[in-house]
Amino acid sequence: MTALFFIETADFQLEWRELSRKRSRVSEGQFGLFRIRLLKHRTSLSGSSWKLSSIGSDRQFSSETGPALFEETDYQIYLRAIGSAKTVRLQHRDPLIVRHLAIQESGQVQHGVINFRSQAGQTAFTISVNGRPYAILELEVFPTKMDYQTDFKSLIADLQQHAQGVVWEYLRSTVHGARTVPARTSDRQEWLLILRGIIETLGAAVRYISSNPSRRLDSDQRLLRTERVRRVDSGLRRQIERASLGETDLSWLGHPIPERLRAASQTATLNTSEHRWLRWQLTGIQRKLAELSTIAVAAGESERGKTIVRELLEFRQQIGMMLKCEPLRCADARAGIAAVSMQLLQAPGYREAFQCCEALRLGLSLEGDTFRLSVKDLNALYENWVLIAVLQIIRELTGHRSQSPQRLVVQATGLSPTLARGREQTFRFQWDAGRRVEVVYNPQFQNPAAMLIPQRPDVLIRLIHDDWPPVQIILDAKYRIETSPEYQRQFGCAGPPVDAINVLHRYRDAILECGGLSASPRGIRRAVVHAAAIFPGTAGVCRSFRDSRLWESLDRFGIGAIPALPHDLSLLREWLHKILRESGWEIAERVIPHSAITHHTQLKQSARNSALVQVLDSADCQRRFDWIRRNQKCYVRMP
């Protein structure tokens, strides 16, 4: 157990310790974001201290740098109320991150274990004292299997380019800086994330508009008493000229004047085109929030699901309060929506509201710092990225560099878009006149005539040669890496866990085909020739990987592993290039036959050989027969 830091204020003490270490590339002295903001009214942090205990000193660090946290690592938390504080709580927007924290001593102590799982990014905890928010603690979680600044961002960029929307999650324990960018389409996940980022600004803009609304003068014709008319125009003069004596008691210089005149009246109104546009936008947001709430409720009642439903309800209430402000309440939605005016584009309040509404039409990019958004778990991101990396390599090898790539099919599962599971997606490439390559995502092998249990690997590469049966190669992405000394002694290098290698053997043995040409009398044959586990190997792993058994076994047994990260795809590219260039004869020679099949083939071949039949005399027959078997020779006694 390693002490990372200790925070003490006038009302609480917080100890943060590291319990387990599962790291493959990070250094012990790595630092990340460390910021504590006291929400209590206080001019300075005097009387408070935070110490970097892992160095064993009492050093204070008041800057925004502190000990880094890591994914897949257990941390022990101990929070105690001191001084006048009665209760303390460590809270987080994601309920799963604090679900293992227990409360003791009538709320004065909270302790337990926190694990960020496969999440990386910045995270914020709220420390509440006596039921009220007291401080916000911001920390940074680093990945342990890839470089945070290069591999992680490149991986996200590749996914956003080929499978829009699969990167983001509405609720996770960590967040990243993001900004809006023009996009062909904006899915509901991105729309909701953008709304969460702009709703406070939108609310402030609407409140400013409510306090400082713009009005327009609305002209209409009203019947007024003559003495109330303030402005005389040609219409009034014509009304006076048409008046006759006897119709009125009023006259001027002998000319009758009507007692009432129909005059133009101008009144200030809030029913402007700007207010109608804003009302139309907010009504659309309210309607979409209601739709998303229905989807979130139907998705299940998990802890995160309940938090999402609660936040959606809060958003709907905030939009409802905006629609109740006087300028928007007076806007007549039936009057239609005019073109965007300069008032809406430039006036204070209106400009900010317009920008917020327009932001909902955009997409998101993991660059900038406009929003703080969550992404999917690193294991899911890596497994999706492996498919994209394989497609890019095969596209280069087959010469399809200028061909626009087929986009992956994305399905909406609740509020979270994912690559379509349970549905095959096939990408076809032409190698040359006699060979084709097919890459199948999420292949399903479930022919009951050929296998007992259905098999579903991650990626299948199918090589189709003329006059040869298809050759199938299995790729399984694993965001796990084993670095124990025992593992490295066995395989010569760090690599995927042993169970991941065992799964490859299972795929090769379990995936069978039936029908067509087959040497088996039952018409069943094996179809998988190679199988490889793709894992996030670092630069150090890649340098020594060529000498490992995992790389050697790919050529010898057809089963092994390959490291792959965005900054280094050399081994994966080399292996795919070698496999794709092989002819049908070369692939056939790589197939490992069963010993019984080998013996059966030898016997059949022996049966085709010519044989000499000799009849032995009864005299001394056994001795001569034993000599022939022993020497593998035959002689004939000359007469």
* pLDDT at 27 exceeding the cut of 50: no
**pLDDT confidence of residue 286:** 94
Segment 39-68 mean pLDDT: 54
Segment 408-433 mean pLDDT: 71
pLDDT by residue (tens digit) across 372-403? 888 889 998 999 899 999 998 988 888 764 34
* Under 8 Å between Cβ of 380 and 120: no
Q: Supply φ then ψ for residue 372, to 5 degrees.
A: -120, 105
Segment 262-284 mean pLDDT: 84
- pLDDT-derived band at 443 (thresholds 50, 70, 90) equals confident
Q: Buried b / exposed e across 353-392, counting CB within 10 Å, b at 16+?
A: bbebbebbebbbbbeeebbbbbbbbbbbbbbbbbbbbbbb
Segment 582-598 mean pLDDT: 65
- pLDDT-derived band at 630 (thresholds 50, 70, 90) equals confident
Segment 252-262 mean pLDDT: 69
Average pLDDT, the chain: 80
Q: Which two tokens stand for residue 54?
A: 């892992």
239/96: higher pLDDT: 96
Look-up: residue for tokens 């925070």?
Answer: 7
Helix (H) or strand (E) holding 88: strand 88-91
Segment 252-263 mean pLDDT: 69
- pLDDT-derived band at 58 (thresholds 50, 70, 90) equals very low
Q: Supply φ then ψ for residue 628, to 5 degrees.
A: -65, -45
- pLDDT-derived band at 250 (thresholds 50, 70, 90) equals low
* pLDDT at 426 exceeding the cut of 80: yes
pLDDT by residue (tens digit) across 89-125? 999 999 999 999 999 999 999 999 999 999 999 999 9
Cα separation, 471 vs 327, in Å, equals: 69
**pLDDT confidence of residue 403:** 42
Percent of the chain with pLDDT over 90: 31
Beta carbons within 8 Å of 355's beta carbon, 6+ residues apart? none
172/61: higher pLDDT: 172
Weakest-pLDDT range from 42-46, 47-51, 88-92: 42-46
Strands 528-535 vs 471-477: parallel, antiparallel or unpaired: parallel
**pLDDT confidence of residue 338:** 64
Within its chain, how far is the Cα of 49 from the centroid? 37
Beta carbons within 8 Å of 138's beta carbon, 6+ residues apart? 33, 34, 35, 36, 37, 122, 123, 124, 125
**pLDDT confidence of residue 75:** 95
- pLDDT-derived band at 516 (thresholds 50, 70, 90) equals low
Q: Supply φ then ψ for residue 531, to 5 degrees.
A: -150, 135
Segment 257-274 mean pLDDT: 76
Look-up: residue for tokens 């020594």?
Answer: 544
Kindly give the residue spans of alpha helices, DSSP state H, lying in 169-212. 188-211
| Nearest alpha-carbon partner for 571 in 506, 509, 508, 495 | 495
Weakest-pLDDT range from 87-96, 126-135, 630-639: 630-639
pLDDT by residue (tens digit) across 325-375? 999 988 887 666 667 788 888 899 999 999 999 888 887 877 777 788 888
Segment 113-140 mean pLDDT: 92
CA dihedral 229, 231, 235, 238 (to 10 degrees): 70
Strands 69-70 vs 132-142: parallel, antiparallel or unpaired: parallel
Positive/negative CA dihedral, 488, 493, 494, 498: negative
Segment 588-611 mean pLDDT: 66
* Under 8 Å between Cβ of 265 and 219: yes
**Half-sphere CA count of 302, side-chain side, radius 13 A:** 12
Question: Hey, which residues does 252 pair with through a beta bridge?
Answer: 255
433/244: higher pLDDT: 433
* Under 8 Å between Cβ of 171 and 93: yes
Predicted structure pTM score: 0.77
* pLDDT at 471 exceeding the cut of 70: yes
Q: Which two tokens stand for residue 50?
A: 């935070």
276/590: higher pLDDT: 276
**pLDDT confidence of residue 335:** 62
**pLDDT confidence of residue 529:** 81
